[in-house]
Chains A and B, each alone.
Chain A
């Protein structure tokens, strides 16, 4: 037990065993709930992101919710395990590419002779979806989401990584 869990989880257990709150959290319980919950949260985040155009939601929230889901995973398991389950993406690169995507979307308008960051939208008849609205602002929003997600995760990841060093 001691060597398999470190980072946040070990810290979390320590504070539950400490003097403040005298409840024992069962790791198994947390992990089981997390398995389901994170899946739900991630799905919900996609919905939130896409809903942003017409309903509450959008890039900021979408990105943050994904970050929150992954943070939950970090908490329930440990950083290394979670990292192993994801494609090896550097979160910093993710954040920077988000910003770049947003900038490039803005530049696109310049190519068409419009002011920087002008957006266009139109209605198209797509198979399966029926009449669908497509807007370039969604691409900008993807950039926003990626930047938020990348930054939040890189902050949390760097800190927890540092914790591991600190522990040893």
Chain B
């Protein structure tokens, strides 16, 4: 028995008491109270590592909406565990860092940690849930918490802009994903991801296969900031730096990667999946690295670098999915390194990018700027920070002895292997992957160098800085230092990581492949003079040359016109949509309730008439025979009275005519053998008429006359249509009988309720609940009347206030 499904709810529960802690214990930084949560969660999850490495996944299911097959099911396998450990591990470090980064006097820490815990719980929910509806719910919750965290400094316009952008794009993707997931649930007839994977063979032939795949990928691409949806990520950098390190580089943006990896067993092996995933990933890799070089803001540079690195991981997942085409046989061995590289780089990226973001945070905190044009020569001021930056960025550039080197080598192996594939038209286009990968790596190398040397080397310009400080507090250095030591540790002991985390994860991305032991070599730093190593050397050499001549070719970036950028397209789309819809809304929302009623009635007429015509359900059996003289007279008087109400210009005449109508209805009830109704109607009509007179006759200042009703063609048409529809429905209902009557049941009222008056038995016994609610409504109306009368707003006060 495991408590995992409760464990991932702990952040939510704890989030409830955080504001109380913040309010009542202001002398201690709230972060200290939050810190234990991710640490404990990390330790708890770490205990699963050995179980999962022995290939015994866990599943626990708690019914949530059992009638719809929606269960709160948690599932632990290698893939989920990697993400779980990253979320809690980096989470703990980020919280420690934030304690020193955010001031306890000035900041609304209560909000900050509530959002952060909300995110942590949601992210754990995403990776551990087995049910797609639960997954979707947690997925959107991560978007919402990201929105809240980006807009944490909501006083700034740019924060609000960035938050809105992120929300719009990720929620758009989330909806698409929901549609895709529901299609998938429809195809496989289950909400459980594991069940879906078991039934994966059925899905490929289904007509909705492609649609569900594209929709699902939209969700993944928007979340993971893939081209062309990447534009939200640079603007999300308005969030506090710990958040950028946590959500927008290490965890949340990797949710899309998680999704792609998770659904590879279902969609992998098809050509569309292969090309969409790897193609988009490759474009993003190139575009992200290419754009990162031109950035002058350190955080923006890291944002674009994150985009590129995410693209690289996604590209690898796409290439590796070709293994599903072969199945667990010898040929698939070419593709498995790509998956391994993707997961390995996922872990590595979280370590070095988290470290780099924290370094940027330190620089920002100590100097007051992140602009590389104003920074420079900080090496002497902050030697420890400099060391951390070197470790982080050299790892990102793919240099030894850092873990980035290993995953970059594996990345090259992956693309080189892919170019040797002979399926999915790879024989023609295959060479594209190594070439683009190599060029993108050069740009990656360049911005890594820019990051380190523009900031820490070069001329020291204290006059351009807002404040000058030395090294920060140990609490700010410790978290990046932990990450940096991991960067080095993973380089020297990659097989440890591979054995306990990566291979189980590969096993869950490509089920059945690891057991087949297709001879995947261990991850090694030195593997001879392979093409990969030569490519890396090429990257370093070309990168060095280009970096040295950076000022000569960087002008090229200026030639891209503003209107050509995606941001411009997004902004103008937003503005135009808003304007168009405002125009449309202003067009029909006139502010007159009469018009709205007209829409409602017209809609009613159109819909009902359409349904009746479509189903051809109009039927008419005339029965004019059994009409007596009295009834004809009654009907005639009724019509006359109704016309009087309509046409009378005299208030009193109209009120009396209405009363006559009510009494006529009572007469009808008598004829139709409804004594209870007749009695009630008589009394109600009397009281209502008194009310009418009370309200509308005795007001002294008002004239007795009401204006001419006038003739309005549109109103008349709608009214006539409405009346006609009601008549048609009444006639058709008389002539058709769809179901047996249920009224015989109530005729046993004497035996069941001891009452001989069936109507009253229905009211107080059979349908007593209705009656109870009805008198409640009555009571509410009475109280409403009372309040309306007693609540007196001073009209003069109101009007003067409005002026």
Contacts and interface: CB of A to CB of B under 8 A. Distances in A.
Complex: A in contact with B (CB within 8 Å): yes
Interface of A: 8, 11, 14-15, 18, 20, 48, 52-61, 64-65, 67-68, 71, 75, 91-92, 95-96, 98-99, 102-103, 106, 116-117, 119, 121-122, 133, 135, 137, 140-141, 143-144, 147-148, 150-152, 154-156, 158-163, 166-167
Contact of A163 (B698, B763, B775, B781): B698
A151 B687 contact: no
B676 to A, nearest CB: 5
Contacts of A18: 704
B199 interface: no
B636 to A, nearest CB: 25
A102 B782 contact: no
B779 A162 contact: no
A109 B755 CA distance: 18
Contacts, number: 161
A64 B757 contact: no
A103 B772 contact: yes
Contacts of A106: 768-769, 772
Given A57-B760, A151-B779, A156-B690, A140 B786 contact: no
Given A99-B775, A99-B779, A102-B772, A159 B694 contact: yes
B130 to A, nearest CB: 37
Interface in B751-803: 753-757, 759-761, 763-765, 768-769, 771-772, 775-776, 778-779, 781-783, 785-786, 789-790
B765 A137 contact: yes
B683 A8 contact: no
Given A75-B690, A95-B778, 7 more contacts: A20-B652, A54-B756, A116-B769, A135-B753, A158-B785, A159-B691, A159-B694
A161 B785 CA distance: 12
A52 B757 contact: yes
A53 B757 contact: yes
30 contacts: A15-B652, A15-B697, A48-B679, A53-B754, A53-B756, A53-B760, A56-B676, A56-B679, A58-B757, A61-B679, A61-B683, A64-B687, A67-B683, A71-B690, A75-B690, A99-B775, A99-B779, A102-B772, A119-B753, A135-B753, A137-B755, A137-B765, A148-B778, A150-B782, A151-B781, A154-B786, A155-B785, A158-B785, A158-B786, A166-B699
A99 B769 CA distance: 12
Interface residues of B, number: 46
Nearest to B771: A144
A159 B695 contact: yes
B748 to A, nearest CB: 14
B684 interface: yes
B680 interface: yes
Contacts of A152: 687, 782
B29 interface: no
A117 to B, nearest CB: 4
Contact of A20 (B650, B771, B772): B650
A57 B684 CA distance: 14
B750 to A, nearest CB: 9
Given A155-B691, A156-B690, A54 B755 contact: yes
B111 to A, nearest CB: 42
A141 B785 contact: no
Interface string B337-361: 0000000000000000000000000
- The 6 A-B residue pairs whose C-beta atoms are closest, nearest first, are A11-B698, A121-B754, A151-B782, A56-B675, A147-B775, A54-B756
Interface string B671-683: 0000110011001
A163 B696 CA distance: 11
A99 B782 CA distance: 12
A119 B765 contact: yes
B686 interface: yes
Nearest to A66: B683
B356 to A, nearest CB: 63
A32 to B, nearest CB: 20
Given A137-B764, A144-B764, A68 B786 contact: no
Specify which of B683, B700, B763 lies most central, judged by the most chain A CB atoms within 10 Å of its CB: B683
Given A11-B697, A61-B680, A106-B768, A154 B775 contact: no
Nearest to A167: B700
Contacts of B782: 91-92, 95, 150-152, 154-155
A96 B779 contact: yes
Contacts of A65: 683
A56 B684 CA distance: 16
A53 B680 contact: no
Contacts of B700: 166-167
B756 A154 contact: no
A121 B756 CA distance: 13
A103 B753 CA distance: 18
Contacts of B759: 58
B682 to A, nearest CB: 9
A147 B697 contact: no
A18 B698 CA distance: 12
Nearest to B690: A71
B775 A137 contact: no
Contacts of B697: 11, 15
A49 to B, nearest CB: 11
B786 A92 contact: yes
Contacts of B687: 64, 67-68, 71, 152, 156
A89 B775 CA distance: 19
A166 B793 CA distance: 15
A55 B756 CA distance: 7
B768 A119 contact: yes
Interface string B644-681: 00000010100000000000000000000001100110
A147 B779 contact: yes
A161 B241 CA distance: 65
A94 B297 CA distance: 71
Contacts of A116: 769
A55 B763 CA distance: 14
A154 B779 CA distance: 10
A158 B783 CA distance: 10
Contacts of B691: 155-156, 159
